[in-house]
Structure 1
Amino acid sequence: GVDQPDDLGYNFKMKALEYHFTWGIMKGDIKELDSLPEKLLDRIMRFITPKYHATYFNLLAFLSHLEGNNVSALEYLHKSESVLKDRQDDTELLVTYANFAWVHYHSGNLDDVDNYIGKLENINKAFPSALNIQGSLPSVHGEKGWSLIRLGDIFYRRVKESFQKALEGEPDNASFNVGYALVLYRLEGMVKNKRVSSVMTAAANQLRKALSLEPDNSELMVLLALKLKKNQENKLESMKLIKEALRLSPDVPHVLSYVAKYFKNEGSINESLQVLGKALELAPNSHFLHHQIGLCHKQQLIQMFEQKRKGGQVKVGQIKAKVEVCICHFSRAVDLKPSNIHARVNLAEAYGNNYQLEEAMKIFTVEDKSHNIHTRGQFKNAYQIPNESWDRKQAGKRLKQIAERWQLENYISTIISSLSLALPFPFPHLKKIVTSYKTEHSNKKIKNSSAIVLTLKKTYYKDSGNCYSCCYSLGLMF
């Protein structure tokens, strides 16, 4: 921006206003800053109702200014003003006008700054005299909540506070109730280990209230359905909500993704994949959809392992193919959103199932060429989830498991040579079997390899055509 002399007190006036530039939003805290504008525009063009367009245009203007593009910022602000011009409540223009003043100030357009500050003062005159009246208006708190919720989970607690303040002034405002319901749902999802057993959580109650005020909001329907399905008595109601949401929004990706999550949680993996596939056609670059598809295939992979454990016939090729599908979608999810730690953990697990332990390690560490990073402690420090949550703890557990498997590499490499020399025949899957054996006996030290060699020899002579039978005789799964 352009630095201006502050002899007329512009800087003081700018900082006294309530808007995006005084809400303490740090550029580094915004998730996926590069791709966020495209996502917001896509929502405006295809999915969200017009009454939310002004909020999105304001946010786009803020992001444009952060990137140094004030021309684009002003264009978005004019669009926001155009959307709001027919609203009966002039206070909804306060944040837009404050943003105008800020961008013009940093562009050196002081006449325009005076113009918009004047507009702000005229709106405030309609209210009883008070210091910083703008900061106490429900419309401003609501705009703040809707803006921050789009920037990532690090802002969710502030979002909750903003909507609470907005609802104190307008308890039956549909927009504020919807925003409050969404943030409560997301916050409860971040602390799964502290959830109460009853489905009637604060989020569930708020979702019901918001839905009563916006009865055609399909996103609220699917979120409430996800809450209700935890209680058998509410299964019929939850399924009714899912069907109605599909009827109202058959082509809205983020609604379809929640529907798919519902079916996946119900064990209907194929149905979930069908819904996700349709959503992916509409939004092929959605990291969330690729991640959810990967999780469905992961669930099917777990079912294969369970079937195999119980003695069922599962071909090795089927398992390998399923693992590769998991890797494909988790990898795409990570590429599209590198900050998605959960997708990274899932990708590392998939690589582990495919015995690509080095690839799993690379996901979480930037390897120093002069130091091999392979200790559990170093690996544990390589992952970061900003908020303390159940998901973070689970990620930590799984990463430790991957790290332990990584630590096996050095040990396994030392015994592979001795095993290869001890066996009177070539064995192409020797490393895989030794890895599996050591993983299954991770708490024991294998002091010599004679037991493994003996088992391999016996199995080889019994069925030389199926090297994987060795694993069955050892009681191993891979």
Structure 2
Amino acid sequence: MSKNADEDQVKDRLEQLRCHFTWKLLIEDTAITDLENRIFDEIEFLDIKHNVGVHNLLAYIKHLKGQNKEALESLKEAEDLIQQEPTNQSDTKRLVTWGNYAWLYYHLGNLGEVQIYLDKVENTCKKVASPSCYRLEGPEMDCEEGWALLKCGGKNYERAKACFEKALEVDPENPEFNTGYAITMFRLDSFHKLPQHKEAFSLCPLKQAIRLNPEDAYIKALLGLKLQDVGETAEGEKYIEEALTKMSSQTYVFRYAAMFYRRKGSLDKALQLLKDALQATPSSAFLHHQIGLCYRSQVLQIKKTTKWQPRGQDRENVNRIANLAISHFEFTLKLKPTFEIAYIHLADMYTEIGNYEKAEDTYQKVFSMKTLDKDILQDIYFHYGQFQEFQRKSESDAIIYYLKAINIENQSYSRDKSISSLEKLVLRKLRRNASDIESLRILRFIDKLKGEINEASESDERALKLAADFESSVGLK
């Protein structure tokens, strides 16, 4: 057999393997450093039973960075951990690790080592009577793939959910499968931004995970937050306080407890928890963002108590605290340039201190991102519409961006606020000029939208046309 034919045969076998190199993990180049930092933090501070998978993922990340020799070291750590596991539970983890070894050696051009690991996979597949020589199916493998997808960010969450669901169909009482599924659903709830006090998809999975993992402080903290989401704050606080008494995964429990107390309005307590967590994980984009949000909430508290017109010492305090928020949001984005919502929060604080040019630059940076989730884009359109209306004093631009937010079909706080903001704006325009045709058209559209909420898709189509027509009429592109 020729060398090329031999390489083709090896490549065909490699592609049959189930491992990080074949799972099509969606990781943006700009997110690699943040992901690597999160993996290091998890290895050191999160008490998890699937550390083998974390080391395997770290090996794959190092490969993406061109550090193949360092990746081999991570796989060696994964192998050492496998030796500590019961023999009957380690076949799946071995296969994933060997698959990653085979791919790494392939990229290093060492076909001899590639074949050694392919043979290891083949022998194990034969031992467990797998129909395929190089591929093992089963719930444990689905679970391993699910964890890998879950750790690689929001674009992978739906596929992670499918993996855990598939595993649970076979073994519905498995504690690890339930934990993975519950965390995935919690993350998806955050993405979908369900209205407060509505049933959250992750609530039942989190309760099930706690039943099967009663000592898991991390899951208890997530359940506490989710109960707060659905209006059961007192019940949620019980789980948060219980989680805080555990030493397990303490750094991570502090994060979610801080979120709970920030949303409850206990900002000093939230900040203290976040600063304690930051001592352990100073390169956490999540923590810096959460600290920024606490300072942002303090700004809003001062403004609210001064009836939105802080003066003198209050104004100085607003500026001082807003600058603290800015420093943490800027560091967040340095650590994780793909953290879309942090751009909105940063622009908001720049606006607060009157630095409109930096606010504009921040909005433009996030608008230039290639793949924005529609929920995030809706938020950006609303906030940018507010910025155009109240800071730039551009009614025409504000109308365009409110309409763009309305055009995105999911029901949300930002869409509702865009509708009400747009209505107030056009009514103000009509008080100045009762025969303003564009404003009359938009007002009719709003009335129709409010009166026929069940015809959302049709309304969205009208909104898109209105936005395009209005852009054209004011000479914008």
- In structure 2, what is the equivalent of residue 65 of structure 1? 63
Give distance in 2, aligned partners of 1:282 and 1:134.
Answer: 40
- In structure 1, what is the equivalent of residue 356 of structure 2? 357
Query: Partner amino acid for 2:219?
Result: L
- In structure 1, what is the equivalent of residue 179 of structure 2? 178
CA contact (8 A) 1:285 1:336 kept: yes
Q: How does 1:7-406 map to 2 (within 5 A)?
A: 7=6, 9-26=9-26, 29=28, 32-49=31-48, 51-87=49-85, 88=87, 89=89, 90-131=91-132, 134-193=135-194, 197-198=198-199, 201-230=200-229, 234-249=232-247, 252-309=250-307, 315-365=314-364, 381-382=367-368, 386-389=372-375, 391-405=376-390
1:54-97: CA deviations, max 9, x gaps? 10111111112222222112111111111112432222211111
Give distance in 2, aligned partners of 1:322 and 1:118.
Answer: 61
Q: Name the CA shift for 1:404/1:136 in 2 (closer, same or farther; >3 Å).
A: same
CA contact (8 A) 2:322 2:352 kept: yes
Query: Partner amino acid for 2:13?
Result: K
Cα deviation for residue 229 of structure 1 reads 2.5
Q: Name the larger-Rg structure.
A: 1
Percent identity of paired positions between Structure 1 and Structure 2: 30
Give distance in 1, aligned partners of 2:205 and 2:173.
Answer: 12
Q: Which moved more, 1:204-213 or 1:167-176?
A: 167-176
Q: Name the CA shift for 1:304/1:92 in 2 (closer, same or farther; >3 Å).
A: same
Cα deviation for residue 147 of structure 1 reads 0.9
1:422-445: CA deviations, max 9, x gaps? xxxxxxxxxxxxxxxxxx999569
CA contact (8 A) 1:249 1:255 kept: no
- In structure 1, what is the equivalent of residue 421 of structure 2? none
CA contact (8 A) 2:105 2:114 kept: yes
Give distance in 2, aligned partners of 1:34 and 1:289.
Answer: 16
CA contact (8 A) 1:84 1:93 kept: yes
Query: Partner amino acid for 2:24?
Result: G
Q: Name the CA shift for 1:364/1:65 in 2 (closer, same or farther; >3 Å).
A: same
The secondary structure found in structure 2 opposite 1:94 is helix
Cα deviation for residue 213 of structure 1 reads 1.9
1:201-232: CA deviations, max 9, x gaps? 33111111112222221110011011112456
Give distance in 2, aligned partners of 1:67 and 1:189.
Answer: 30
- In structure 1, what is the equivalent of residue 470 of structure 2? none
- TM-score using structure 2 length: 0.75
Cα deviation for residue 127 of structure 1 reads 3.1
The secondary structure found in structure 1 opposite 2:57 is helix
Cα deviation for residue 317 of structure 1 reads 1.8
CA contact (8 A) 2:285 2:331 kept: yes
Q: Name the CA shift for 1:6/1:81 in 2 (closer, same or farther; >3 Å).
A: farther
Cα deviation for residue 349 of structure 1 reads 0.8
Q: Name the CA shift for 1:202/1:158 in 2 (closer, same or farther; >3 Å).
A: same
- TM-score using structure 1 length: 0.75
Structure 1 unaligned blocks of 5 or more: 367-378, 412-439, 448-478
Q: Name the CA shift for 1:105/1:133 in 2 (closer, same or farther; >3 Å).
A: closer
Query: Partner amino acid for 2:291?
Result: I
CA contact (8 A) 1:287 1:332 kept: yes
1:379-401: CA deviations, max 9, x gaps? 9x446663232x44223200222
The secondary structure found in structure 2 opposite 1:202 is coil
Q: Name the CA shift for 1:442/1:357 in 2 (closer, same or farther; >3 Å).
A: farther
Query: How big is the alpha-carbon RMSD for the aligned residues of Structure 1 and Structure 2?
Result: 3.1
1:285-320: CA deviations, max 9, x gaps? 222112112212222211222222288986322222
Give distance in 1, aligned partners of 2:158 and 2:56.
Answer: 21
Give distance in 2, aligned partners of 1:289 and 1:336.
Answer: 11
Query: Partner amino acid for 1:355?
Result: G
- In structure 1, what is the equivalent of residue 471 of structure 2? none
Structure 2 unaligned blocks of 5 or more: 397-424, 433-477
Query: Partner amino acid for 1:45?
Result: E
Cα deviation for residue 357 of structure 1 reads 0.2
Q: Which moved more, 1:356-365 or 1:309-318?
A: 309-318
Give distance in 2, aligned partners of 1:19 and 1:320.
Answer: 50
CA contact (8 A) 1:30 1:151 kept: no
Aligned residues: 398
1:11-68: CA deviations, max 9, x gaps? 11111111111112355x366212422331232123333x322101111111122222
CA contact (8 A) 2:41 2:281 kept: no
The secondary structure found in structure 2 opposite 1:197 is coil
Q: Name the CA shift for 1:311/1:56 in 2 (closer, same or farther; >3 Å).
A: closer
Query: Partner amino acid for 2:355?
Result: Q
Give distance in 1, aligned partners of 2:22 and 2:296.
Answer: 44
Give distance in 1, aligned partners of 2:272 and 2:299.
Answer: 17
Give distance in 2, aligned partners of 1:301 and 1:359.
Answer: 19
CA contact (8 A) 1:180 1:206 kept: yes
Give distance in 2, aligned partners of 1:226 and 1:26.
Answer: 27
Q: Name the CA shift for 1:225/1:132 in 2 (closer, same or farther; >3 Å).
A: farther
Cα deviation for residue 254 of structure 1 reads 2.6
Query: Partner amino acid for 2:22?
Result: T
Give distance in 2, aligned partners of 1:112 and 1:278.
Answer: 46
Greater share of helix: 2
Query: Partner amino acid for 1:10?
Result: V
Query: Partner amino acid for 1:187?
Result: L
CA contact (8 A) 1:104 1:112 kept: yes
The secondary structure found in structure 1 opposite 2:270 is helix
Cα deviation for residue 5 of structure 1 reads 2.9
